């Protein structure tokens, strides 16, 4: 078992050791009644980021990794498990087939990708099966009437853009929105009002209060 702590393998062994340590912390939390295995504002990372044109992709990556939508500690456990286990298996395969261990940095590249993929899967599992506080559960039906801010792209007919809003419990939601008609379009940073849902797309109209405030500020 000494090979587990060689320079080529140690990062992956340490990742699994850290994962087990986090598991122990979670078990202690369960006993003390402070588990992270529920969705609440205190255990979620707010994904409310101010992104410029060069970093729009970061928003999509955070959403894909479920950061801000699932407990961060649990997501980290899923990543460490995927990263550490895949690294050990790849090094063991290398030793069996090639007769030597590969450089740890080389193996870390595919292991990181596997870890992130496992983190994505874990986030979906958490969002689907772990319990939520009923008072904080928000259905998509309640999105109607919400004021959203365009975060990525320009919203036009047949060309939706990403928008976000915060619900009454402080949770940030990201939705794809499209103008209700072709008489207007919405640019990044502008606000709109959700009036109805069509599949995964939410139809919006201009937020009159926002337009009035913007007009007044421009006239000053």
> Domain-by-domain residue ranges, the chain?
2-134, 138-219
Per-residue pLDDT of the chain (220 residues; tens, 9 = 90+): 677 888 899 999 999 999 999 888 877 776 676 655 544 443 444 444 444 444 455 666 777 787 766 778 888 999 999 999 999 999 999 999 998 999 989 999 999 999 999 998 988 887 666 655 444 445 566 788 889 999 888 888 888 888 888 887 777 888 889 998 888 888 888 899 998 888 778 899 988 765 445 555 555 5
Residue pair 39/136 in contact (Cβ under 8 Å)? The answer is: yes
- Residue 171 CA to residue 40 CA, distance in Å, equals 9
β-strand partners of 166:
172
122-158 pLDDT, tens digit each: 888 876 666 554 444 455 667 888 899 998 888 888 8
Q: With respect to CATH, is domain 138-219 assigned 2.60.40.10?
A: no
Length in residues, the chain: 220
> Residue 194 and residue 97: Cα distance in Å, rounded?
58
**Is pTM, for the whole model, over 0.85?**
no
**C-alpha distance from residue 92 to each of 9, 54, 85, 86 (Å):** 9, 40, 11, 10
> Between the CA atoms of 124, 126, 129 and 133, what dihedral angle is there, to the nearest 10 degrees?
-130
3-class SS of residue 198: strand
């Amino acid at each position: 078992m000494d090979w587990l702590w060689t320079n080529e393998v140690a990062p992956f062994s340490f990742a699994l050791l850290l994962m087990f340590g986090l598991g122990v912390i979670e078990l202690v939390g369960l006993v003390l009644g402070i588990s992270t295995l529920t969705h609440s504002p205190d255990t979620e990372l707010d994904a409310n980021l101010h992104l410029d044109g060069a970093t729009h992709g970061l928003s999509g990556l955070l959403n894909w990794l479920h950061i801000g939508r699932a407990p961060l500690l649990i997501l980290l456990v899923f990543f460490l498990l995927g990263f550490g286990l895949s690294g050990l298996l790849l090094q063991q395969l290398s030793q069996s087939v090639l007769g030597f261990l590969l450089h740890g940095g080389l193996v870390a590249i595919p292991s990181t990708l596997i870890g992130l993929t496992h983190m994505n899967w874990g986030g979906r599992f958490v969002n689907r099966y772990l319990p939520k506080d009923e008072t904080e559960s928000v259905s998509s039906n309640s999105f109607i009437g919400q004021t959203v801010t365009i975060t990525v792209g320009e919203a036009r007919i047949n060309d939706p853009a990403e928008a976000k809003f915060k619900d009454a419990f402080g949770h940030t939601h990201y939705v794809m929105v499209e103008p209700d008609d072709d008489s207007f379009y919405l640019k990044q940073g502008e606000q709109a009002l959700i009036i109805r849902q069509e599949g995964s797309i939410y139809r919006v109209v201009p937020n009159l209060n926002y337009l009035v405030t913007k007009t007044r500020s421009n006239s000053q």
